[in-house]
Amino acid sequence: MSEVRTLILRAPGTNCDMETAFAFEVAGSAVEFAHVNELLSREKVLSDHQILAIPGGFTYGDDISAGRILANELRLRLGEDIERFVDDGKLILGICNGLQVLLKAGILQRDGDATRQSLTVAGNDSARFECRWVYLHVDPSTPCVFTRGISSMYLPVAHGEGKVFSEAGLAGALNVALRYADEAGDISAGYPHNPNGSVDNAAGICDASGRIFGLMPHPERHVRGTQHPRWNRESVPDRGDGLQVFVNAVEWAGSI
């Protein structure tokens, strides 16, 4: 397997870049950081990498709406680069603010109409910032590269705008690869198991190829067992639930 190179995108307000880089490094990838301005100036080149990761945070202070400004930069100024990146069979991962960016830039939709946004995120139904651990069910019927071989996860969320919705609903729009659930795996469970009110309990979605994946929970915050909130009271594995997301990506990218 050839060396896999992951580009971690930064912008003003990004704050989960180091954790995301650590997760990819543990999974076996070489990691490079790039501020969005470095891509715009061609100081760094997206095509030199196999994986693009947009980590969590509050880019541009979530001014206008969460992720909107960075999404506009990617869509209007780097759209062709990203299109070629995806057409070359490479991977894109967006976590929390990264999912917000992917949706608002139209990268997850990729329907040929950049002016139409069929799916977006809005403020949580609770009207508050939700910071809690959630149970997640993986839908094995989706083509998502990142969730292969995973049946469930326990990960933290931390967001104020995480409600995934569409006026037409999710059916036929995108593949819901990850859903909020309760301890028993019920994917219809309401608040607080679904912390934001997302339609169909959607926590993570992918495109039709399975190579573009965005999720609101933070897999990079649970790559070690000691990051589990009850690690010193319960018997938990040494590997955190989120690590396999990054392992799957690196293994796939290494086969390109």
Q: Which are the catalytic amino acids?
A: 96, 218, 220
Q: Is 185 left (phi over 0), alpha (psi -120 to 50) or beta?
A: left
List for the chain the helix, strand, coil content (%; round to 5). Answer: 25, 25, 50
- Give Cα separations from 192 to 54, 85, 124, 187, 223 (angstroms): 26, 37, 11, 12, 23
Supply 49's token pair: 């990498």
Residue of 139, 140, 134 lying closest to 154 (CA atoms): 134
Pairing of strands 212-215, 202-206: antiparallel
H/E stretch holding 23: helix 17-26
Distance linking the first and last C-alpha atoms of the chain: 9
Residues 6+ apart with CB under 8 A from 192: 130, 132
Are the C-beta atoms of 246 and 223 separated by less than 8 Å? yes
Phi, then psi, of 9 in degrees rounded to 5: -85, 135
* Whole-angstrom Cα Rg for the chain: 17
Residue type, 82: I
